């Protein structure tokens, strides 16, 4: 019941904010709170950036969005794995102790895939809090096949309201 209330509140905020053409961090956080199960440990975009800059062996970044979304932009060196077509066997050659960071637009789809990976015995799996939207809202770079870009696939015009800065919504 509580989760439904969070989602309903977030959707009301979404409509109001869309009408005014703006968003707020607190509204985004409320929306995420209603969507997440908190079943997969999370890390913030700042924590991920620090991890990527510090460690010798980089974590495996998995983009769980659609191919269309991935082609517009993605995090550097991320692997594309489609949420709709995902099967754990796609990672059969990846050792179970490999650090894996998952992301999607806001973190919902990636959390579902993280749950599947945990059930399959992967024990070093984390979900990027707020997804690629929060990553770009924090001013961190995204890339496409041509290099660095400002474009980001908003999933839909309704979801694009959560993109605050740094990205040209497509």
Asked whether residue 91 falls in the same domain as residue 17, the answer is no
Q: What is the CATH number of the domain that holds 97?
A: 3.40.250.10
What does the pLDDT average to over 26-41?
91
In this prediction the pTM is 0.82
Q: Look at the chain and report how many structural domains it folds into.
A: 2
Asked whether residue 23 falls in the same domain as residue 56, the answer is no
What does the pLDDT average to over 150-158?
82
Mean of all residue pLDDT scores within the chain = 85
Asked whether residue 13 falls in the same domain as residue 48, the answer is no
Strand partners, 140: none
Q: What is the pLDDT of residues 114-142, one digit of tens each?
A: 999 999 999 999 999 999 999 999 999 99
Asked whether residue 28 falls in the same domain as residue 68, the answer is no
Q: pLDDT at residue 49 above 70? A: yes
Find where tokens 């789809």 sit.
109
Q: What is the pLDDT of residues 74-124, one digit of tens each?
A: 999 999 999 999 999 999 999 999 999 999 999 999 999 999 999 999 999
Asked whether residue 100 falls in the same domain as residue 19, the answer is no
Quote the domain boundaries for residue 5. Answer: 1-35
């Amino acid at each position: 019941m509580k989760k439904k209330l969070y989602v309903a509140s977030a959707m009301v905020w979404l409509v109001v904010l869309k009408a005014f053409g703006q968003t707020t961090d607190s509204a985004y956080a409320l929306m995420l709170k209603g969507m997440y199960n908190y079943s997969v440990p999370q890390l913030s975009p700042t924590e991920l950036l620090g991890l990527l800059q510090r460690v010798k062996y980089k974590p495996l970044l998995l983009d769980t969005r659609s191919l269309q979304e991935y082609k517009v932009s993605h995090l550097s060196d991320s692997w594309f794995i489609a949420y709709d077509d995902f099967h754990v066997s796609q990672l059969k050659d990846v050792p179970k102790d490999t650090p894996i960071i998952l992301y999607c637009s806001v973190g919902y789809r990636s959390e579902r895939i993280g749950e599947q990976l945990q059930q399959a015995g992967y024990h070093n799996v984390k979900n990027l809090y707020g997804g690629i939207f929060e990553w770009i809202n924090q001013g961190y770079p995204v890339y496409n096949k041509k290099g660095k870009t400002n474009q980001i696939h908003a999933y839909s015009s309704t979801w694009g309201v959560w993109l605050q800065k740094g990205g040209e919504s497509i």
